[in-house]
Copies of this chain bind each other. A is one copy, B any other.
Amino acid sequence: MGTNEAIEALTSSLGQRVSRSKSDLEVHGASETHFAPMPPDAVVYPDCTAQVAEVMRICAAHRCPVIGWGTGTSLEGHALAARGGVTVDFRDMNRVLDIRADDMDVCVQPGVTREALNTELRATGLFFPVDPGANASLGGMAATRASGTTAVRYGTMRDHVLGLEVVTATGEVIRTGTRARKSSSGYDLTALFVGSEGTLGLITELTLRLHGQPEAIAAAVCAFDDVAGAVAATNDAIQLGLPMARIELLDRASVAAVNAYAGSDMPEVPHLLLEFHGTEAGVRETSETFGEVAAGHGGRDFEWATRPEDRSALWAMRHNAFYAILASRPGTRSLVTDACVPISRLSETIKATQEDFAHHNLTGPILGHVGDGNFHAVLLFDENDTEAVTRAHEAAHRLVERTLDMGGTATGEHGIGMGKMRYMAREHGGGWDMMGRIKHALDPDGIMNPGKLVPPTN
């Protein structure tokens, strides 16, 4: 591979948009979680599609690896330069290009973050609902098929990307999808690129579906004696078709961490945090119905609120839960799991996981997007204690195996990156080889984010 030749050519073409500074390489070689640094050989900051295409043509000519970069908030090391090469940072492609309120869609560059988009949308009466917690870039969210707390109502990135502009591995610019709401025209290339983790091309523009800001929002909180009760209440509410915009589980350990962090005084038992979107009458009806459903499964202390300040307090608690958990054991590192199972198996999966952690003397508070069957255990360990690190990784491994035994997936929303490659063969069987054939057809030299997602070719 001619990485150095590629970087020389890039520098002569794009000048100061190419960086080889130590700090740039360090930032782009690090991840938010437990992976060892893997810096690229250079970072490029294009500011338009034509520049991205130029980067790709140069890198393709020299067979130099190319890695896309949004905000670096991936939890699985997606954007680490496993084979070196050039990282394309979309920082400067951060424009909201076209808000089409009548069609409830928007065209954005990949570096726009979800918070920046929602700020721009505020006056339109529309919003973009996908909320993975981090203020991630929309290009990165599409590339990892992200979701988060609102998926139970609004769906994931899969449901929100109407179309893409993509620079292919050869530097060609293509468009997938149209501005129509649905289409039966040909292979769903949009869906193929959503979740492809930069291994098939670089996303340079996204057309996203928007929703009307709800007339009324109610938030609610409900305590349960055990996780099983909380999950059973969730299931019943879903079966009833209650339109819940968010339904989040905090297990006992998470509640304890939140109390300690935020000075709150929730009873130290599992809780559901909920949000309902609709009309004034609708959210009242839904909240009350949910309260009745919850009571049938031991739910108590059910409270709901429509005042913005009360709602904000509740969701600040949820959004800070991850930091609260980290703060509960100062100086520790974390490993965040991402199991997603059929909802009928959620309760037993969480129970078995908690028992496994207890048996191995591990701390791993659990947060769950329970309406989707998705939950995260935040395993805490001292990174200098090799034995503890091993125990945490082994427990995370057993959790994935348990999840696959239950008919679930190794990753509900965080993606494969470096962290879940070892499960691809088991989860997909012959489908993984099929992914490899598709990859080879679209990126024959294997320069797009090499070392990720598809079976190794050598």
Interface residues of A (CB under 8 A from B): 100-105, 125, 144-147, 151, 155-156, 158-159, 168, 172-176, 178-189, 191-192, 194-196, 200, 211-212, 214-215, 235, 238-241, 243, 278-279, 281-282, 285, 289, 338, 340-344, 372-374, 407-416, 420, 423-424, 427-432, 434-435, 437-438, 440-442, 453
**B residues within 8 A CB of A147?**
182, 184
A414 and B184 in contact (CB under 8 A), knowing A104-B238, A174-B434, A178-B409?
Answer: yes
**B residues within 8 A CB of A243?**
243
**B residues within 8 A CB of A145?**
183-184, 188
**B residues within 8 A CB of A372?**
180-182
Point out the residue from B146, B430, B438 that lies within 8 Å of A168, measured CB to CB. B430
What are 23 A-B interface contacts by the 8 Å CB criterion?
A: A100-B342, A100-B344, A102-B342, A104-B343, A145-B183, A158-B182, A158-B191, A178-B427, A179-B407, A180-B341, A180-B372, A180-B407, A180-B408, A181-B342, A184-B411, A184-B412, A186-B431, A188-B188, A188-B192, A191-B191, A211-B241, A212-B239, A281-B285
Least CB distance, A93 to chain B, in whole angstroms: 20
Is the beta-carbon distance between A214 and B194 smaller than 8 angstroms? no
Least CB distance, A370 to chain B, in whole angstroms: 11
Give Cα A179 to B415, complex, Å. 17
In the complex, the 6 A-B pairs of residues with the closest C-beta atoms, listed nearest first = A191-B191, A441-B441, A102-B344, A183-B409, A179-B407, A174-B430
**B residues within 8 A CB of A416?**
184-186
Extra contacts besides A102-B342, A185-B411, A281-B285 (18): CB < 8 Å: A100-B344, A102-B344, A103-B342, A105-B342, A144-B184, A146-B184, A156-B182, A178-B407, A180-B409, A181-B342, A182-B374, A183-B340, A184-B412, A185-B416, A186-B453, A192-B192, A212-B238, A438-B438
**B residues within 8 A CB of A434?**
168, 174, 189, 442
This chain's copy number in the assembly: 2
A156 closest partner in B (C-beta) = B182
Interface centre among A146, A215, A411, by most chain B C-beta atoms within 10 angstroms, is: A411
Is the beta-carbon distance between A453 and B156 smaller than 8 angstroms? no
A243 closest partner in B (C-beta) = B243
Is the beta-carbon distance between B189 and A104 smaller than 8 angstroms? no
A170 closest partner in B (C-beta) = B430
Point out the residue from B151, B195, B340, B441 that lies within 8 Å of A438, measured CB to CB. B441
Is the beta-carbon distance between A188 and B194 smaller than 8 angstroms? yes
Least CB distance, A286 to chain B, in whole angstroms: 9
Give Cα A178 to B211, complex, Å. 28
A430 and B156 in contact (CB under 8 A), knowing A147-B182, A453-B187?
Answer: no
Give Cα A428 to B155, complex, Å. 26
Give Cα A105 to B341, complex, Å. 13
A180 and B342 in contact (CB under 8 A), knowing A185-B420, A188-B194?
Answer: yes
Least CB distance, A52 to chain B, in whole angstroms: 15
Point out the residue from B285, B344, B420 that lies within 8 Å of A103, measured CB to CB. B344
A185 and B424 in contact (CB under 8 A), knowing A168-B430, A172-B430?
Answer: yes
A412 and B214 in contact (CB under 8 A), knowing A185-B424, A435-B186?
Answer: no
Point out the residue from B155, B183, B195, B453 that lies within 8 Å of A411, measured CB to CB. B183
**B residues within 8 A CB of A174?**
428-431, 434
**B residues within 8 A CB of A100?**
342, 344
Point out the residue from B176, B182, B415 that lies within 8 Å of A340, measured CB to CB. B182
